């Protein structure tokens, strides 16, 4: 698993998401939708505390992570978190490693 957070996505998270100490942005696989490498599944996002992190990365003071229970979704992929100006929300791009 590899993750890239673009500058525009980081700016969106800083503006739109309130984090308490010890919390971060959790990414997870959810039913419905599609990605470039998943059929029938898309990305969910929540504010949470890591318990059993699969990966953690702090970018400019913001913790981004996924839990071990979502290894099935992130295994063998690179996820780029970008910003969709039209929808004013993050967008996710996947490529296989």
pLDDT computed for residue 9 by the predictor: 98
pLDDT computed for residue 30 by the predictor: 80
Backbone angles phi, psi at 17, to 5 degrees: -115, 130
CATH code, domain with 41? 2.60.300.12
End-to-end CA distance of the chain: 8
In angstroms, the CA 48 to CA 64 distance is 10
Rounded average pLDDT per 10-residue block, the chain, 97 residues: 95 96 93 69 91 95 95 92 96 91
In angstroms, the CA 64 to CA 3 distance is 9
Range of 42's domain? 2-96
Query: How many domains is the chain built from?
Result: 1
* Cα three-residue angle 65-69-70, rounded to 5 degrees: 60
């Amino acid at each position: 698993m590899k993750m890239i957070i673009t500058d525009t996505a980081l700016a969106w998270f800083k503006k739109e998401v309130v984090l308490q100490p010890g919390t971060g942005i959790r990414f997870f696989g959810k039913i419905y939708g599609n990605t470039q490498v998943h059929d029938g599944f898309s990305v969910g996002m929540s504010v949470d505390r890591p318990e059993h992190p699969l990966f953690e990365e702090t970018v400019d003071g913001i913790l981004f992570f996924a839990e071990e229970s979502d290894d099935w979704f992130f295994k063998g992929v690179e996820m780029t978190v970008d910003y969709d100006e039209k929808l004013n929300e993050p967008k996710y791009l996947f490529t296989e490693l």
